[in-house]
Structure formats: C-alpha cells, structure tokens
Structure 1
Amino acid sequence: MANQNILGQLPPDILRSFILVADTGSFTQAAKLVFRTQAAVSLQIKRLEEELGYDLFVREGRKAILSPKGEILYGYSRKILDLYDEAVAAIVQPELSGHVRIGAPDDYATQHLPSALKRFAMSHPMVQVEVLCDDTYKLDPLLNDRKLDLMITTESQSSANSIPLELVWIMSELMNPADVEVLPLALYHQECCYCHNALEALDKNSRKHRVVYRSPSLAGVTGAVKAGIAIAPVTKDTQVEGCRHAVPMDGLPEIAPVHMALRYPPGRSSKVVSSFAEFISSEMGLKREVNTTQNA
C-alpha cells in the first residue's frame, strides 16, 4: 500500500531524477544530467515506487516508458519543481538584470532549451535571453566576434569539455530499410556532424545510399522522414509521431556519437552571462569551455 504522506515529502532531487528518466527514456542519461551514477538514480526511482506502491516505468526494449501512474506523477512533479525553484529563487538568488545572447543548433534549441529557459526566467525575471538557432559553423564567427555570449556546439570529435550525444536512425513506421537496396537519406547541411558520422557509418559498411532531401532545420528533416521518403540521423531523444528508431533487424550501421559543449568567446564574461552559463550547464549536463584569455 502506498504511503499516504509521501507526496508531501518528496525531495526535489528525486523528482528531478524521475522527470529526467521520463524525458530521456534512460536511467543512464538521466544519471549524467544529475551528476549521479546510474545505480544511484535507479535506487531513487525504486524507493519512490516502493513508497507509492506502483511501478512508475515500464521497459520497451532499452527505453524506460512512463506507466499510467507514472504519467500522473510526471504532471504533478513538474508543477512541484516549478514552485520549488521559484520559491528558492525568490529567497536566495541575487537580483540579476541584463541581456544574454546564446547560439544553439536548431534541434537542440527546439527540443531542450525552452523548458530550461522557462525555469531560468522564473529565477531571474529581469534577464532577457536571446536565442539564435543556426548551424555550428555559422555560429562560430559570431561567437568569436562577441556577437554571441555563449554557444552550444556539436562536433564530430570529443574534447575535454564535451559530452557525447548518441545518434540513431529515424524512419517512418511503415519503412523497412532491409528491403531497400539504396537507402534514401534526409540530411542537414553538408558541414553537419550528424551527416558526417551517418555517411561515414554507411560507407564503412558498404551500404548504398543517396541523399534525396536536405533541410537546415529539424522540422524539415523529420517532415521528409514522416512522409516516408527518407531516413535520417537524429539524436536518440528525438521522437516523431508516426516514426520509429532503427532496430537491429533493420540492418543499419550504428552511428558514432557527436559531442556537445557550452563555449564562451575569448575574454571575461559578465556576471549575468556567467550565472546563465552555470544554470544551463547544470540543467543540460553540459560542460563549459574554460576561457584562456581574460580582459583587463
């Protein structure tokens, strides 16, 4: 039987772990984002389930999916954490004001930044955040010219300040790539590291392919996939109605992960930019590139 008092005693750290497992579909990914071990996060969820008396997740292959009771708790957990963060911010956060300009790839800005920006706005309502969505190679010169204060970057190679971002193939639920002799691909621009790693994987496995669609945006690429005219490389947490991720029987090669980091332009950052960077680093599990140059 569930402990009737548990909902009034849920620690915020357990709720954050629960929400991140639900959002990522993975205990391992959630553990990285809260800087805990996978075993520690699993234990948190297990204890929560024991207290409530219900399973909160079911397994679908390697993915953790919310159970019906988990869906109910998820909605309330979001509300509880929003109120908790707002209360803490009102008491302990310094009053910041100013303007922050951040650049990010389209897919990451679309799927992950909005919820993080909402929580930051609750803590720092006087800070205006401007987001520029574009490709990494286009954002780079803007960062170097200090037209951006921060930049979330994705690259093919890892660095000391990056974290891996797993890539998978996505396709229409009706497509069977094992029956297709020449794979039709929907890709981003030619400089995209997703595309580079995907094409490299196909070439190494001598898998015939051709590019049938290109778009600079996630919506454009997944639109072609949903229409059934192509498959595409996307991040593992990308979910599209009517589409599925590749499984072993599809016969597609694994794609090497890309690597993500949060970067600064050279020189010293303002207090408001540093505070925003700390927040984003914590929220999204990113590591900040250390500045090697300091302004006088």
Structure 2
Amino acid sequence: MRNLDITTLRSFVAVADYGGVTRAAGFLHLTQSAVSMQLKRLEGLLDLQLLDRSGRTIALTAAGDQLLAYARRMVALNDEVIGRLTDQAFEGEIVLGVPHDIVYPAIPSVLQRFNADFPRVKVQLLSSYSRKLKQAYGRGECDLILTTEPQSAEGSETLVELPLNWLGAPGGSCWRQRPLRLAFGRLCMFRPEAIAALNRAGIDWELAVESDSDRTIEATVSADLAVTAMLDGSEPPHLEPIDHGGALPVLPASKINLYVRDAAANPLVGAFATLLRQTISSHVSPSLRAVG
C-alpha cells in the first residue's frame, strides 16, 4: 500500500503554480533543496517523471498534468478538514438581511464562499422588505443588510444601480389591458415608483394583488393576471420582462445599498461585506455598474 503525502503534494502544486522550485520554496517558506527532495520523493513513490527539467524552465510532463488536478483537490480537502475541526481563530454568528427579490443570484454564492473561508462562523439569513430590514438594522438585530432604494441613503454604500423592469407572464398579454392590473407587496419599494410612472403617463391601473407573499405575487403574474416590477436580472424563471414597445412607461433605476455595522471592529463582518461587494458587482453587467 502506497500513500501520498500532503506535504509533497503541496510542494508539487506550488512548483506548478509558480513555475519553478525557487519561487515555490519562497511561497512555502522552505529551502530549495527541501522542495526538490520532496518532488523526487513523490516521483519515486509513483515511479513516474512528473517534471520536465530539460528546458530553461520547469514544465509538467503528461503524468504531472494528470496528477495536478488530483493534488489540488487533495490539498484543498486537507485544508478544509483542518480548518473545520481545529481552527478556533474565527467563531461567531453574523446576521445578514436581504430583500426577497435580490436573494438570487448572488447571495447563495456569497454564503458558500464565506462558509469555505470561515467554516466555524454561522450566518443567519433574514429575508424581508427593505423597509423592515432597515428597521431591524436600526434596532441592532442585523450586522449587515442590503436594501433596494431609489436613492443612496445616509449610512449606506451604493453597490450597484439597476434598471427597474415591467414583468409579466412569458408570452402574456395582460399588460395590454386597461386598467392595467398590478401585483405588488404591501411594503414593496418599487410599488410607489411604478404607480407614479403610470400616473404620469395617464395609464389607468388597479391593484389586483396586494400581498406579503412573493409566491402569491409571482403566481398571479405568471398566470397572466397582473404585472409587476423587479430589478433587471432578478426576475424568477417563470416571469419575463415585458416587450411593450413603449406602451408602458419607463421605470426609474433603483440602487442596491449596503449597510454595515462596526466593520472595523469586527473583522468577520468586514470580510463578509467585502465578499458581498465583490460578488454582487460580478453579477452585474459592466455597463450597468454604478459603483465597484
């Protein structure tokens, strides 16, 4: 029975990543001779030549290329196990508040990446309307919140500014009817913006659904019984932007604002805020970004 050693695999990955023994040794805080010895030990164990040393720079052989993918996974799994079971440096709980309609697509990947970096920290996700989230944040019940608001607000940081779109059922025709039937949450920040735009355009409307349940609103709209409005890119798969050709008024853009409590004093909150900024920005087209 032959067993691969994580230390030798880590050195092998470092040499592949840094293009040579010297840089890999510096990264690993080892001597060049120690790294070279580990590589020779690994080649001896497998009875394979993993590195092509014939040129001016070190390159991987075909066997080395094949091993590299496995080595990366084994080193990462080793580090994950060690971190999860023994790392006491970062423990605690973070409460994050996010409006219903912008949980997807960014928040799941933020939670996943943060858990990989800080496996002993619990993140509690609170989903509600922006107005309620700001109240909870004011009471000290959340460490961070995201909001959808027409303007930047005091104490917040605007991450992106996105268009607000009319949404309806795929292939639906409800948007042609007058009065226009609307479906919105009671506390939805987009509702007054949509109604004001319709009033300015002189379009009759009626509130067909007023609910605290996003599912109720989405079901009504997907049945082609009403229309609603959401931020660009946040619509669920069973709804689609309405190609109304100017029959409906253009809606104003809305901002996604970030509120962070005591980031300087709490490195975990600061790290989570940084991850939110990076991930939300990466999910937005460069042409639509307002910040970052």
More moved, 266-275 vs 244-253: 266-275
C-alpha separation in 2, matches of 1:120 and 1:208: 47
What corresponds to 1:233 in structure 2?
229
- How high is the sequence identity, in percent, across the aligned residues? 22
C-alpha separation in 1, matches of 2:226 and 2:115: 39
What corresponds to 1:119 in structure 2?
113
Shift of the 265–201 alpha-carbon distance from structure 1 to 2, 3 Å rule, reads same
Equivalent residues of 1:170, 1:246 under 8 A apart: yes
Q: What is the DSSP-based 3-state SS (H/G/I as helix, E as strand, rest coil) of the residue aligned with 1:230? A: coil
C-alpha separation in 1, matches of 2:277 and 2:175: 40
Shift of the 250–174 alpha-carbon distance from structure 1 to 2, 3 Å rule, reads farther
Check if 1:206 corresponds to 2:196. Answer: no
C-alpha separation in 1, matches of 2:237 and 2:258: 30
Check if 1:97 corresponds to 2:88. Answer: no
What corresponds to 1:185 in structure 2?
182
Q: Counterpart amino acid of 1:150?
A: L
C-alpha separation in 2, matches of 1:217 and 1:260: 21
How far residue 161 of structure 1 moved from its aligned partner, in angstroms, is 2.6
What corresponds to 1:164 in structure 2?
161
More moved, 261-270 vs 147-156: 261-270
TM-score for both structures, normalised by structure 1:
0.60
Equivalent residues of 2:174, 2:224 under 8 A apart: no
Structure 1: gaps of 5 or more residues? 1-8, 10-82, 288-296
C-alpha separation in 1, matches of 2:219 and 2:106: 19
Check if 1:150 corresponds to 2:150. Answer: no
How far residue 98 of structure 1 moved from its aligned partner, in angstroms, is 1.6
> How do 1:279-294 residues align onto structure 2 when only pairs under 5 Å count?
279-285=275-281
C-alpha separation in 2, matches of 1:184 and 1:104: 27
Equivalent residues of 2:180, 2:205 under 8 A apart: yes
Higher Cα radius of gyration: 2
The alignment covers a number of residue pairs equal to 204
CA deviation digits over 1:55-88, x for unaligned, max 9? xxxxxxxxxxxxxxxxxxxxxxxxxxxx7xx68x
Equivalent residues of 2:163, 2:231 under 8 A apart: yes
CA deviation digits over 1:119-167, x for unaligned, max 9? 2111221111001111122122221222111111111223583121221
Equivalent residues of 2:262, 2:269 under 8 A apart: no
More moved, 104-113 vs 241-250: 241-250
Q: What is the DSSP-based 3-state SS (H/G/I as helix, E as strand, rest coil) of the residue aligned with 1:249? A: coil
How far residue 208 of structure 1 moved from its aligned partner, in angstroms, is 0.8
Equivalent residues of 2:169, 2:221 under 8 A apart: yes
Q: What is the DSSP-based 3-state SS (H/G/I as helix, E as strand, rest coil) of the residue aligned with 1:96? A: coil
> How do 1:1-296 residues align onto structure 2 when only pairs under 5 Å count?
95-158=89-152, 161-162=157-158, 163-177=160-174, 179-189=176-186, 191-249=187-245, 251-265=247-261, 269-285=265-281
How far residue 272 of structure 1 moved from its aligned partner, in angstroms, is 1.2
Equivalent residues of 2:168, 2:221 under 8 A apart: yes
Equivalent residues of 2:99, 2:146 under 8 A apart: yes
Shift of the 213–178 alpha-carbon distance from structure 1 to 2, 3 Å rule, reads closer
CA deviation digits over 1:254-295, x for unaligned, max 9? 1101111110247854121111111112111299xxxxxxxx
Equivalent residues of 1:175, 1:228 under 8 A apart: yes
Q: Counterpart amino acid of 2:99?
A: P
Q: Counterpart amino acid of 2:135?
A: P
TM-score for both structures, normalised by structure 2:
0.61
Shift of the 267–178 alpha-carbon distance from structure 1 to 2, 3 Å rule, reads closer
Equivalent residues of 1:172, 1:225 under 8 A apart: yes
Q: Counterpart amino acid of 1:249?
A: G
Equivalent residues of 2:263, 2:269 under 8 A apart: no
